[in-house]
């Protein structure tokens, strides 16, 4: 079986070393050729001007020979031998010029070849030194997994492109770590929240069946409690689906009036607000936007329900729809318990409530503000939540500016996946 020559892998280091060698060879060859022609020009034209002592003859007269005396006359034996030796001297000089030029050419070529090889070796060493941070990043990428996202590169050295790449990779690891931790908390909280109504349903059914003296009224009460637990579970599943849908992003957007949609939501919640002794005020103006109508309706409903549920008796709730330039703005402000500023970020996380204990508040699922944030991000908007001095929250949602010419049907736009 014939042996196959295995070529080296075309790494960046090898390509840089070869590139350095080729660049040096090209520059050295240009310098060698330039030097050769300059030396050749100097040698070929050395002494080619008028001979020393020669005099320029007037126009129309022959120039006097440098080998003849000024007065003319016959040439002596010494002068004749000098005239005879001039051709031989010129031939020897020409031969010497050729030898010098050939020697210069050969020696320069040998020096160029040696220095080109040395430049490849030096380029290999320098490329390896420069690319050392890339090997560190590659090794860390292969080593880091979902269970070791706390590792960081922390590259040292000058503030160049490679260090910037390392810092960017560290930032990516930090974001991934936060995302994985949030996902783990979400799965754990979702499992707990879904298991609670199931356990309640099973306990109610077992108690009703284990009672030997159960009457029709007691069984009816048990079944009503089971149905209530099932309804809570349905609301939780629907909220989880809405949250997942909002985080996935939207592809098709349709034009609609945010003010009209908000007015419908306020009208549908008016009776519940009056039942809880909450004054509901609305200041709504038309605000055209392009987005997902159903998700936006769920966003408005969640904000109003959250403001009613976490309010105080004889409190107030204010809903406003305005435009900032051409951007629709929805603002919901309400009275309620005092919210510490440091608790705002925690309230935006799924299954997080103002109280630390899950059993202290059974009015909500802990997903209202999380769903709001997911829907706003899916529609490329921004949400700002701030606590009010006397208690309660002020939530401001700003949607992106709609297209200049909104068509009547759905509009397909490019949205980033979430």
> Is the separation of the CB atoms in 373 and 348 below 8 Å?
yes
264: confidence class by pLDDT, cuts 50, 70, 90: very high
Name the strands in the sheet holding 411-412, side by side, starting at the edge strand that comes first in the sequence: 288-291, 252-257, 411-412
What is the structure's pLDDT at 395?
93
Q: Specify the CATH number for 253-354+365-398; select among 3.40.30.10, 3.30.2290.10, 3.40.50.150, 3.30.565.10.
A: 3.30.565.10
In b/e form, how buried is each residue of 105-136, taking b as 16+ CB within 10 angstroms? beebeeebeeebeebbeebbeebeeebebeeb
| Average pLDDT rounded to a whole number, residues 204-210 | 82
- State the Cα angle at 373 between 405 and 187, rounded to 5°: 135
What is the structure's pLDDT at 278?
93
- If we measure between CA atoms, which residue out of 340, 371, 372 comes closest to residue 356? 340
Residue 330 DSSP SS3: strand
Q: How many residues are present in the chain? A: 418
Report phi then psi at 340, rounded to 5: -65, 145
CA distance 344 to 395: 11
260: confidence class by pLDDT, cuts 50, 70, 90: very high
> Is the separation of the CB atoms in 262 and 300 below 8 Å?
yes
Model's pTM, two decimal places?
Answer: 0.51
Burial of residue 299 (CB within 10 Å: 0-12, 13-18, 19+) is: buried
> Is the separation of the CB atoms in 186 and 351 below 8 Å?
yes
Instruction: Show me where the domains of the chain are located.
Output: 253-354+365-398
pLDDT tens digits, one per residue of 230-254: 776 776 677 666 666 655 566 667 8
CA atoms within 13 A on the CB side of 277: 5
pLDDT at 52 over 80: no
- Mean pLDDT score of the chain, rounded to an integer? 76
CA atoms within 13 A on the CB side of 34: 6
CA distance 146 to 143: 10
What is the structure's pLDDT at 396?
94
> Is the separation of the CB atoms in 151 and 136 below 8 Å?
no
Residue 187 DSSP SS3: helix
């Amino acid at each position: 079986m014939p042996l196959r020559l295995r070529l080296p892998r075309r790494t960046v280091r090898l390509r840089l070393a070869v590139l350095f060698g080729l660049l040096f060879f090209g520059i050295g060859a240009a310098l060698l050729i330039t030097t050769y022609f300059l030396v050749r020009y100097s040698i070929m034209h050395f002494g080619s001007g008028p001979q020393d002592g020669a005099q320029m003859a007037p126009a129309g007269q022959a120039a006097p020979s440098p080998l003849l005396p000024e007065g003319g006359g016959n040439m002596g034996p010494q002068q004749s031998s000098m005239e005879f030796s001039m051709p031989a001297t010129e031939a020897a000089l020409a031969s010497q010029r050729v030898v010098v030029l050939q020697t210069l050419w050969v020696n320069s070529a040998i020096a160029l070849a040696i220095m080109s090889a040395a430049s490849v070796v030096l380029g290999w060493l320098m490329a390896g030194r420069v690319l050392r941070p890339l090997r560190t990043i590659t090794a860390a990428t292969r080593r880091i997994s979902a269970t070791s996202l706390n590792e960081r590169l922390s590259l040292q050295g000058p503030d160049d492109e490679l260090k910037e790449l390392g810092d960017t990779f560290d930032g990516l690891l930090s974001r991934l770590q936060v995302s994985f931790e949030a996902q783990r908390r979400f799965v754990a909280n979702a499992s707990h929240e879904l298991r609670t109504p199931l356990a309640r349903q099973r306990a109610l059914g077992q108690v009703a069946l284990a009672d030997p003296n159960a009457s029709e009224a007691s069984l009816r009460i048990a079944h009503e409690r089971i149905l209530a637990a099932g309804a809570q579970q349905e609301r939780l599943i629907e909220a989880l689906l809405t949250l997942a849908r909002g985080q996935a992003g939207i592809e098709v957007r349709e034009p609609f009036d945010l003010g009209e949609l908000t007015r419908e939501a306020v009208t549908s919640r008016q009776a519940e607000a009056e039942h809880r002794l909450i004054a509901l005020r609305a200041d709504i103006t038309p605000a055209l936007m392009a987005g997902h109508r159903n998700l936006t309706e769920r966003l408005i409903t969640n904000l109003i329900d959250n403001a009613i549920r976490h309010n105080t008796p004889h409190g107030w709730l204010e809903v406003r729809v305005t435009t900032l330039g051409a951007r629709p703005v929805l603002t919901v402000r309400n009275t309620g318990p005092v919210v510490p500023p440091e608790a705002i970020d925690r309230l935006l996380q799924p299954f997080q409530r103002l109280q630390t204990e899950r059993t202290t508040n059974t009015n909500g699922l802990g997903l209202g503000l999380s769903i709001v944030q997911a829907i706003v991000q899916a529609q490329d908007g921004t949400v700002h939540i701030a606590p009010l001095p006397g208690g309660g929250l002020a939530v401001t949602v700003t949607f992106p500016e709609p297209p200049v010419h909104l068509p009547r049907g759905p509009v397909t736009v490019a949205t980033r996946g979430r």
